[in-house]
């Protein structure tokens, strides 16, 4: 009888291969199978040992060729074959990464599973361009949301930073909703595209102007959107 293998959900960090954790890197290099996302640090895959099976289950906005239930099946199936499976994700597995669903699938199949946290892009990408999410006298808290959520219930003050992931497609609607629910149209906004990647770029505007500015600039995913007074710190740092 074949011994059951294991599954490790590894947070690969915000994209730079050097920002994966030491434990994540060590376990990745011991893997027999790597099931990778689109935004995982794919440069690390080039250094894997010969014979490691690499399965690409990456999702694009509006295009999910491998549905989540099939991803769950793949990682459980390979582990039940006695193999060490690394589920390599961008950012952190438990920050909009559906990691809990994969943990539950493994537990239901009695497959040993471990979660290795990663540096989430929600914090790291703004930091990469000099935008802190909190700063003394500017912002004391932040909220992370996705572009699929109703933003109308988010805190409405400029000193509470809002970080929006997967929000480019609905930017105009999101901005209008936030203004209608009490945020000033003059609230600063920064969009950081391709954080830590070769086309990293920052686009600056306000809630009242950012949709038109982003459309004119051709802003596209992946991107992290920062809304709040902390964006003014980026302006000062780059003046």
HEC string for the chain: CCCCCEEEEEECECCCHHHCCHHHHHHHCCCCEEEECCCCCHHHHHHCCCCCEEEECCCECCECCCCHHHHHHHHHHHHHCCCEEEEEECECCCCCCCHHHHHHHHHHCCCCEEEECCCCHHHHHHHHCCCCCCECCCECEEEEEECCCCHHHCCCCCCEEEEEECCCCCHHHHHHHHHHCCCCCCCEEEEEECCCCCCCEEEEEECCCHHHHHHHHCCCCCEEEEECCCHHHHHHHCC
**59 is known as an active-site residue:** yes
pLDDT band at residue 102 using 50, 70 and 90 as cut-offs: very high
pLDDT band at residue 235 using 50, 70 and 90 as cut-offs: low
CATH label of the domain that carries residue 111 = 3.40.1010.10
pLDDT over 70, % of the chain: 95
**37 is known as an active-site residue:** yes
In this structure, are 150 and 226 located in the same domain? yes
> One of 32, 37, 89, 92 is an active-site residue; which one?
37
Q: Look up residue 185 and give its two tokens.
A: 């149209």
In this structure, are 103 and 10 located in the same domain? yes
Average pLDDT in the 59-84 region?
A: 88
Q: How far apart are CA 115 and CA 4, in angstroms?
A: 18
Q: How far apart are CA 70 and CA 57, in angstroms?
A: 9
> One of 59, 77, 194, 229 is an active-site residue; which one?
59
Question: For 134-177, how does the pLDDT look when each residue is reduced to its tens digit (9 = 90+)?
Answer: 999 999 999 999 988 878 778 777 789 999 999 999 999 999 99
How high is the pLDDT of residue 63? 58
**How many domains does the chain contain in total?**
2
Residue 1 located in a structural domain: no
**47 is known as an active-site residue:** no
* Domain that residue 39 falls in: 6-119
In this structure, are 134 and 102 located in the same domain? no
Question: For 7-37, how does the pLDDT look when each residue is reduced to its tens digit (9 = 90+)?
Answer: 999 999 998 999 999 999 999 999 999 999 9
Average pLDDT in the 125-129 region?
A: 96
Residue 216 located in a structural domain: yes
Residue 112 located in a structural domain: yes
How high is the pLDDT of residue 206? 98
> One of 32, 92, 154, 166 is an active-site residue; which one?
166
Predicted TM-score (pTM) of the model is 0.90
């Amino acid at each position: 009888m074949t011994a059951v293998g294991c599954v490790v959900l590894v947070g690969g960090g915000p994209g730079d291969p050097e920002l994966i954790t030491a434990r994540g890197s060590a376990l990745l290099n011991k893997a027999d199978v790597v099931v990778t996302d689109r935004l995982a640090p794919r440069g690390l895959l080039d250094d894997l040992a010969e014979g490691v099976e690499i399965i690409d289950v990456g999702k694009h906005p509006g295009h999910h060729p491998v549905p989540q239930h099939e991803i769950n099946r793949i990682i459980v199936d390979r582990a039940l074959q006695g193999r060490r499976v690394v589920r390599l994700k961008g950012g952190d597995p438990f920050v909009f990464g559906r990691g809990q669903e994969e943990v539950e699938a493994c537990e239901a199949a009695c497959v040993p599973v471990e979660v290795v946290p990663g540096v989430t892009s929600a914090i790291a990408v703004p930091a990469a361009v000099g935008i802190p999410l909190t700063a003394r006298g500017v912002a004391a808290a932040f909220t992370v949301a996705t572009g699929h959520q109703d933003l109308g219930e988010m805190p409405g003050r400029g000193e509470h930073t809002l970080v929006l992931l997967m929000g480019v497609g609905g930017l105009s609607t999101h901005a209008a909703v936030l203004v209608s629910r009490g945020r000033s149209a003059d609230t600063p906004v920064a969009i950081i595209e391709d954080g830590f990647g070769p086309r990293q770029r920052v686009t600056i505007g306000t809630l009242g102007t950012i949709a038109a500015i982003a459309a004119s600039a051709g802003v596209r995913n992946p991107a992290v959107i920062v809304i709040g007074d902390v964006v003014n710190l980026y302006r000062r740092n780059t003046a």
